[in-house]
A and B are shown apart, each in its own frame.
Chain A
Amino acid sequence: MLDSLIQGILLGGYYAVLAAGLSLMFGVVRFINLAHGDMAVLGALGSLWLVQSAGVGVPLAIVFTLLGMAALGWLMQRFIFERALAGGFLIPILTTIGLGAALQNGMFAAFGSDTKSLGAHIGNLSWASWELPGGIFVGQLPVYMFATAVLVLGALHLLLTRTAFGRAVRATSTDAEAASLCGVDPRKVHRWAAAIAVALAGLAGIFLAMRAQVTPFSGPMMLIFAFEAVVIGGIGSLRGTLIGGIVLGVVQALGALISPQISILAGHLVFLAVLGWRLMQVAAAERGGWRAALSAALNKPDLSRRQA
């Protein structure tokens, strides 16, 4: 039980990195990249290719992958997302679903369907562990990943709160038009935000490749986990994203105590519960608090009808 709890918390770091990119895109560029998980898989398979086929060492492969993913994010924002965003709310959703399908099947065609893992290339790190008092073993890799996650999210937080670039990002996400009046180019900000977001997806992909198996079709599930972590933690705050990731990790680890299928289902159910709770709060606030909402619900079956 305690063992699962620790594992879940450590897993949460991975989910938080995965979710941070999605959250950044949603918060700054204002759309949900439905291919986010597939980008993570691209990062995973890209780093694997570098290590296995190009013979690059793991640390260097990680650096190359992150740089490549950042460049990809910048280019995609420049050539795809910008145009999609100009087309209203429908087009970005359609575009990124298409992108996801293209990425999944393209990677499947290029890399094949066998599951792959970086685990064999990182020496004994994939199984080494520390023993805590009480006979609990904690894997070294999950601890390093969690530490990296906290460091990366912390650095991102500092970047967003303490630097000129961060100010520009926050200004753009609050009001792009007003920001551009103050000399900030929102398109530039969006491109760099996309670069960071896709690099974060790439990092999450590398994590996944180290700790588990990757297939070209792992992406949709990763997107779902990322979205769940974002919603559970609350959109628009990196601390919330970390908390959301940890909650999701813990729920899944506890669910896994029962069965592997329950693990993922438990995550979905907690996500739906949190989302439902949020929606109810919004609905209640629109009607002047809980009491009013409750009496409105009792008197009128249609909760949603706007009050005249």
Chain B
Amino acid sequence: MTPAQTLPMAAPDRWLIVLACVAILALATLPWLGSALIVDKLIYLFILVMFAVMWNLLAGYAGLVSVGQQAFIGLGGYALIRLVEAGLPPFPTIFLAALLTGIVAWAMSWFVLRMKAGEFAVATWVIAETIRSIVMFDPIVQGETGTSLLALNAYDPDLRRMVLYLLSLATMVVMVWGTWVLLQRRIGAESQAIRDDEDAAASIGISTFQVKQRIYIIASVGCALAGALWLASAITFQPRTSFGVQWSVFMLFMVLVGGIGTFIGPILGALLFFALQEIFGDFGAWYLAGIGIVAILFALYLPRGIVGLWLDNGRAEPLSLRKRLGV
């Protein structure tokens, strides 16, 4: 069990990381300067980044293309509602809710990870629908109506916004950094080997199921955490929104357009998606149809996304995990 050998980091990457740290520090001071609207929008952006990074971990690095991660987004929110209803303080409970959702992901993993690609995609979706139907039986949720995280109203709105903003920023940073660390470890190389050829990976002694299971649970807890944060910012819990398949479409769009299976791609994709939503969001259905068409075009003609365009010009992939593994 020797750790994978990694090459020293390239100079541009170091600058990129320094730049990211500066950006994070700037973002951390923003709530004292920016308006409430900007703060709210940035919270949503951070949550989008978390979704994209988690889905990329699952689909891009472990080859598990799920259309059902909304199960965990919804469950994270639902667990938060339930636990706060039971009297727990809202903000710390966000993390507890995500951990509890991880147990569901663990239980599900035994079942779904035995399936082939297409089956896995649809089955995870059906399970998300099943969980939604079951959650809708909860009297608190009141079926389609949904419920609200009323306990948050006890806080001053400005304070609540600031706490949530800093919490989301910190969570996003930890999630992105954690993914970076995770993928540089042995499991990162193992999961990519499984994605590329599962049988070959098994034949060289990788416990394919275990690796996939770990990635699946981590990505699901990440989605639950982002989902719980989203609920805390949106306040209203509606089963059709929280468990909606649109989350999967968004995650797919961000990861695909940014560059699936690259570290920086999903982050770029989330930024782009956020910008598109700001610019074209008012067009409603036409905008969402456009998102679908752009996703098709990227899948067909630019499957490596924006990062792929960058690479086509003969440049090195920024923050690549591929090259850093010098075995």
Q: Write the residues of chain A forming the contact surface with B, with a CB cutoff of 8 angstroms.
A: 26, 31-32, 34, 80, 83-84, 87, 89-95, 97-106, 108-109, 220, 223-224, 227-228, 231, 261, 264-265, 268-269, 271-272, 275-276, 279, 282-283, 302-306
Q: Which residues from B are CB-within-8-Å of A269?
A: 130
A305 to B110 alpha-carbon distance, docked (Å):
12
User: Which single residue of chain A is at the shortest CB-CB distance from B210?
Assistant: A302
Indicate if the CB atoms of B121 and A32 lie closer than 8 Å: yes
Query: B62 to chain A: closest CB distance in Å?
Result: 12
Q: Which of B284-323 contact A (CB under 8 A)?
A: 284-296, 299-300, 303
Cross-interface CB contact of B295 among A87, A98, A220, A264, cutoff 8 Å:
A98
A223 CA to B122 CA in the complex, in Å? 9
In the complex, are the beta carbons of B114 and A101 less than 8 A apart? no
The answer to whether A95 and B114 have CB atoms under 8 Å apart is: no
Contact of B67 among A34, A109, A279 (CB under 8 A): A34
C-alpha gap A231/B207 in the complex (Å): 28
The answer to whether B123 touches A275 (Cβ under 8 A) is yes
Q: Are B65 and A282 in contact (CB under 8 A)?
A: no
B43 at interface, CB cutoff 8 A:
no
**In the complex with contacts A98-B252, A261-B136, A105-B289 CB distance below 8 A:** yes
Across the interface, B249 reaches (CB within 8 A) one of A97, A265, A275, A303, namely A97
Report if A26-B118 is in contact (Cβ < 8 Å); known contacts: A90-B260, A102-B289: yes
Return chain A residues, CB-CB under 8 Å to B67: 34, 93, 97
Inter-subunit contact B292/A306 (CB<8 Å): no
Compute how far the CA of A281 lies from the CA of B319 in the bound complex, rounded to whole angstroms.
43
Beyond A94-B65, A101-B288, A109-B289, 15 extra complex contacts between A and B, CB < 8 Å: A90-B303, A94-B295, A100-B249, A109-B284, A220-B125, A223-B122, A261-B133, A265-B133, A268-B133, A271-B126, A272-B127, A272-B130, A275-B123, A283-B114, A303-B110
Q: Would you call A80 and B111 a contact (CB within 8 A)? A: no
Let me know if B117 is at the binding interface, CB within 8 A.
yes
Cβ of B234 < 8 Å from any Cβ of A?
no
22 contacts between A and B (CB under 8 A): A26-B118, A32-B122, A34-B67, A34-B122, A89-B65, A89-B117, A89-B118, A91-B299, A93-B67, A93-B118, A100-B292, A101-B295, A105-B285, A108-B285, A109-B289, A224-B126, A227-B126, A231-B119, A264-B129, A269-B130, A279-B114, A304-B209
Are B285 and A94 in contact, with the CB atoms below 8 A? no
The answer to whether A95 and B126 have CB atoms under 8 Å apart is no
Q: Chain B residues near A100: list those with CB within 8 A.
A: 249, 292
Chain A residues positioned under 8 Å from B300 (CB to CB):
80, 83-84, 87, 91, 95
Is B111 a contact of A276 with CB atoms below 8 Å? yes
Residues in chain B near residue A302, CB distance under 8 A: 207, 209-210
Could you say which of B292, B294, B295 has the most chain A C-beta atoms within 10 Å of its C-beta? B292
Q: Closest CB of chain B to A168's CB: distance in Å?
A: 23
A-side contacts of B245, CB under 8 Å: 220
Q: Mark B100-115, 1 if CB is under 8 A from A, else 0.
A: 0000000000110111
A224 to B67, CA, bound (A): 12
Q: Given that A91-B303, A268-B130, A302-B209 are contacting pairs, would A97 and B285 also be in contact in the complex, using a CB cutoff of 8 Å?
A: no
B90 shortest CB reach to chain A, Å: 29
Chain B binding surface SS class: helix
A-contacting residues, B41-81, CB 8 Å? 59, 63, 65, 67
Is B248 an interface position by the 8 A CB rule?
yes
Contact of A105 among B209, B288, B303 (CB under 8 A): B288
Interface contact A32-B118, CB-CB below 8 Å: yes
B137 at the interface (CB under 8 A from A): yes
A264 to chain B, nearest CB (A): 6
Interface contact B209-A305, CB-CB below 8 Å: yes
- B295 surroundings in chain A (CB, below 8 A): 94-95, 97-98, 101-102
Cβ of A95 and Cβ of B299 under 8 Å apart? yes
- Taking the closest CB of chain A, its distance from the CB of B241, in whole angstroms, is 13
Q: Is B134's beta carbon under 8 Å from chain A?
A: yes
CB neighbours of A103 from chain B (8 A): 289, 292
Given the complex of chains A and B, what is the CA–CA distance between A227 and B127 in angstroms?
13
Is B256 part of the binding interface, using a Cβ–Cβ cutoff of 8 Å?
yes
Check A279–B121 contact: CB distance below 8 A. Answer: no
Contact A101 B289 (CB under 8 A): yes
- Asked whether A93 lies within 8 Å of B125 as measured between CB atoms, the reply is no
Query: In the bound complex, how far is the Cα of B134 from the Cα of A84, in angstroms?
Result: 35
Contacts of B119 in A (CB 8 A): 32, 231, 275
By the criterion CB–CB under 8 Å, are B296 and A98 in contact? yes
**Whole-angstrom CA separation of A87 from B260 in the bound complex:** 13
7 cross-chain pairs, A with B, having the tightest CB-CB distances, nearest first: A102-B292, A98-B295, A101-B292, A304-B209, A32-B118, A105-B289, A105-B288
Is B19 an interface residue when CB atoms closer than 8 A count as contact?
no
* B207 contacts across to A, CB distance below 8 A: 302, 305
- Nearest B-chain residue to A86, judged by Cβ: B300
Q: CA–CA, A279 to B109, complex, Å?
A: 13
Q: Which residues of A contact B17 (CB under 8 A)?
A: none
State how many angstroms separate the Cβ of A222 from the closest Cβ of chain B.
Answer: 12
Q: Which residue on chain A has the smallest CB distance to residue B195?
A: A90
- B16: interface (CB < 8 Å): no
B133 touches A87 (CB 8 A): no
Please tell me if B150 contacts chain A, counting CB pairs below 8 Å: no
The residue in chain A whose Cβ has the minimal distance to the Cβ of B134 is A265
B285 touching A93 by the CB < 8 A rule?
Answer: no
B202 at the binding interface (Cβ < 8 Å): yes
Residue pair B122, A101 in contact (C-beta under 8 Å) = no
Which residues of the other chain, B, contact A306 by a CB distance below 8 angstroms? 202, 208
